[in-house]
Structure 1
Amino acid sequence: MAPPFPPAPAPESMLFRHRQLTPTANVRVSPICLGAMNFGDADKARLGECNKETSFEILDTFKGLGGNFIDTANGYQAGQSETWLGEWMKSRDCRDEMVLATKYSSPYQKHHPGKSNRTLEATELNLLYVHWWDYATNIPELMTSLNDLVSSGKVNYLGVSDTPAWVIAKANQYARDHGLRQFVVHQGLWNAAKRDFERDIVPMCKDEGMGLIPWGTLAQGRFQTEATFKEREKNNPGRQGKPSVLEKRMSKVLESIAASKNTNITSIAMIYIMQKAPYVFPLVGGRKVEHLKGNVEALKLVLTDEDMTKIDRASRFDPGFPHIFLSGSQFGEDQNTEHEIPDGSKDVWLTQVLGTFDWVESSKPIIPSEQK
């Protein structure tokens, strides 16, 4: 007997393969999040610019390929980004199809979530971020106020951006203790050359059941060939500055791996981060449709353990204490150095000397070759 309902049609692109945002947020989103910070020209000296026609073309392409996860903020392009997104969703009658994330920023202007609702022409925001930690607001006041927004129906889920792990852990614990809504995602800087995110934020998010929305995954275009470096330094489009020695060294490694897979450097850079942890949704921007299409094609790639190790070593990332002590990596080759930041009891050398134990594996990132 056939099932009463037919199965969903086969996905036309990898972007149609939606994923659960986090264990604590049962909403399905596309595997990459489209960043809308570029959309506008009101703050082009600092953020670059992208005119409305091109912005709408990028949004149409993203939606057409299966994308439904979009990120903005009330301060981007002095509010133009939110305004244009609202106009685009209204003109396409697609608000209900999108998972929309925005942020409220510091009070240099009278921005607030209610204004974002109106600007985006949305009765509710799917995800609202605290844009950054100001070291002034107290946690009880913050979490109580955010919970009021959820209770009022203006916001579905809460996120936090550019904030220390200890603040987030403390805030979520306060929320649990008082029956309030917790942060479900963290957004911050993370790429192959900048891996500080991995010290405390990634382990904290795994423990809290939070998703990871890394920005700067492609290093704002600074992972490039030497010829492209010189051209970009000459023209300096957008916010791109002079590449560092580390970024140039990393580019050589990424280029080598990209050549072996017949793809480009940025594709390898994006997939590297997606294979570092579960529930990772890279935030990608850009001002050209072809850049977006390239990011979507990259979702088919799979990096081997050897590829991942090459990139890890090129970054020369120092996890620092206590991670290198607990993993045993500070003691050299005689100790376990597979995980410089322990991913559980199995990676703690002081536990290993007590006996032989079998441990349940922690959750892993989704690998395209394992999808059916």
Structure 2
Amino acid sequence: MAFLETPSSSPSSGLKVRRTLGSHSPVKVSPVCLGAYSCGSGWEQCGTGQMSQEDSFRRFDLFVEFGGNFIDTINNDQQGESERRVGQWMKERDNRKELVIATKYTAGYKGEAKASKIDYGQNSVDSASVSIGISLKNLQTSYIDILYVDFWDWTASIEEMMESLDVFVKDGKVLYLGVSDTPAWVVSQANQYARDHGLAPFSVYQGHWSLLLRDFQLEILPMCVSEGMALCPWGEIIPDKSQPHGGRTKRFAEGENSTLYAIAKELGTLSVTAIALAYGLRKFPFIFPIIGERKLEHYHAKITSLSLRLTQDHIKKIEGVSDDQQESSDKVVREISFGCIRS
């Protein structure tokens, strides 16, 4: 596997930097987060491929060797195998206290039957309690650094959700709360309720941010700034031509990315991905992109972005690649949320 090749030179300098996660979460983390979603074989039948335990451990080892300390997973990734891999690796390396581990609850990871979703999915207090217990067991730890609500599914009130999550924080099972793929208005209301009642607020947001889907900047970024929240974007900031974004991706693949190649050449890198990631890091003070590459060269390219310095002129040119900012990101998360209800 390409990821297991030993690099000739380590892109570690930028990754060893420690940054404060956010205004309400003073934990120190590396500038990028390693996504563990591909570590396992539980989703192989879905076409996502598989990664052995040996390869998964080598992946984690390289990230730490380069200087990283921030790892992200989900309760249902690879049917729970992702969490179990992270937990076993931490046990064997005896490095739990050196790491910041994030996981999530809400997804129905015990199947799609409605009876299973009651306890093993949804935003409810029962789901949170069961999921956190299983995640702690999988991760072989007594606490979770960051617990995300994976997405807002309309099955619990904001009051119930924030009251129940605060209990886990006060019990020491969770240190900080995060939220993913949720409308900005829900997050704002939830944090206001937390402030009004002395509860733990959401301090981190995770969602999809792409140069071809910059509607994210209309609602989510301003909300994060207003709430003092960190931002952990996932997905490809530069989608390739095989990804389903219709005409925008076709235009991008046919030549609009020449702007990015020109900037990459100017800055002495061959990676357009590094330019895109550097753009993301430049746009927001508390941003920690999630990288989940299987191939070592892609992994290196994203870490290389930490040393790139874009000018304001570069930013303007990059943002000229796509002017599609007319629809709200709330539309995307509404589709996710209502899809859960309909199922």
Give 1:242 deviation, angstroms: 7.9
Higher relative contact order (CA 8 A, sep 6+): 2
**2:196 aligns with one of 156, 166, 177:** 177
Query: Corresponding residue for 2:20?
Result: 20
Question: Does residue 304 in structure 1 map to residue 311 in structure 2?
Answer: yes
CA offsets 1:27-60 (integer angstroms, 9 cap, x no match): 0000000011111111022533322222111111
Q: How far is 1:107 from its partner?
A: 3.6
1: CA distance between counterparts of 2:323 and 2:180? 25
* Change beyond 3 A, Cα 1:80–1:12: closer
Q: Paired residue for 1:36?
A: 36
Q: Helix, strand or coil: the match of 2:320? A: helix
Contact kept, 8 Å, 1:55 with 1:287, in 2: the verdict is: no
Q: Is the 8 A contact 2:206 2:233 kept in 1?
A: yes
Q: Structure 1 counterpart of 2:318, which letter?
A: I
1:256 aligns to 2:275 (yes or no) = no
Runs of 4+ residues deviating >4 angstroms: 240-243
**Alignment check: 8 A CA contact 2:76 2:109 kept:** no
* Distance in 1 of aligned mates of 2:140 and 2:244: 35
TM-score normalised over the length of structure 2: 0.81
Q: Secondary structure at the match of 1:156?
A: strand
- Percent identity over the alignment is 43
What residue number does 1:277 align with? Answer: 284
Structure 1 residues 218 and 46: alpha-carbon distance in aligned structure 2, compared to 1, 3 A threshold: farther
Residue 250 of structure 2 corresponds to which residue in structure 1? 245
Q: CA deviation at 1:91?
A: 0.9
Q: Tell me if structure 1 keeps the 8 A contact 2:73–2:104.
A: yes
RMSD over aligned CA atoms reads 2.0
- Asked whether the equivalents of residues 54 and 287 of structure 1 are also in contact (C-alpha less than 8 Å), the reply is no
Find the aligned partners of 1:194 and 1:320 in 2 and give their Cα distance: 9
Distance 2:96 2:162 in 1: 27
Partner of 1:166: 185
CA distance in 2, matches of 1:52, 1:177: 45
Taking the TM superposition and a 5 Å limit, the aligned residue runs for 1:15-94 are 15-44=15-44, 45-94=46-95
In 2 relative to 1, CA 92–34 (structure 1 residues): closer, same or farther, beyond 3 Å? same
Report the equivalent of 1:266: 273
TM-score (norm 1): 0.75
Contact 2:209 2:237 in 1 (8 A): no
SS at match of 1:157: strand
Assess, with a 3 A threshold, how the Cα gap between structure 1 residues 71 and 108 changes in structure 2: closer, same or farther. closer
Q: Which entry has the higher C-alpha Rg, 1 or 2?
A: 1
TM superposition shift of 1:250: 4.5
Please say if residues 105 and 130 of structure 1, whose CA atoms lie closer than 8 Å, have aligned partners that are also in contact. Answer: yes
- Between the aligned partners of 2:109 and 2:92, the Cα distance in structure 1 is 31
Which residue of structure 1 lines up, in the alignment, with residue 143 of structure 2?
124
Question: For 1:195 and 1:242, how far apart are their aligned partners in 2?
Answer: 12
CA contact (8 A) 2:257 2:321 kept: no
Q: How many residues align?
A: 295
Q: How does 1:284-363 map to 2 (within 5 A)?
A: 284-319=291-326
For residues 222 and 149 of structure 2, the distance between their equivalents in structure 1, rounded to whole angstroms, comes to 20
Paired position in structure 2 for 1:156: 175
- Deviation (angstroms), 1:88: 0.7
Structure 1 alignment gaps of length 5 or more:
1-10, 224-228, 234-239, 322-372
Q: 1:112 is paired with a residue of what secondary structure?
A: helix
Query: Is contact 1:61–1:289 with CA below 8 Å preserved after alignment?
Result: no
Question: Does the Cα contact within 8 Å between 2:20 and 2:26 map onto a contact in 1?
Answer: yes
Secondary structure at the counterpart of residue 166 of structure 1: helix
Which letter does structure 2 place at the counterpart of 1:124? Y
Residue in structure 2 matched with residue 196 of structure 1 by the alignment: 215
Q: SS state of the match for residue 100, structure 1?
A: strand
How far, CA to CA, are the matches of 1:190 and 1:217 in structure 2? 8
Structure 2 segments unaligned to the other structure (5+ residues): 1-10, 111-119, 121-129, 329-343
Q: Is contact 1:37–1:47 with CA below 8 Å preserved after alignment?
A: no
Tell me how far apart the structure 1 counterparts of residues 56 and 237 of structure 2 sit (CA, whole Å). 20
Give the distance between the partners of 1:247 and 1:96, measured in 2 at CA.
Answer: 43
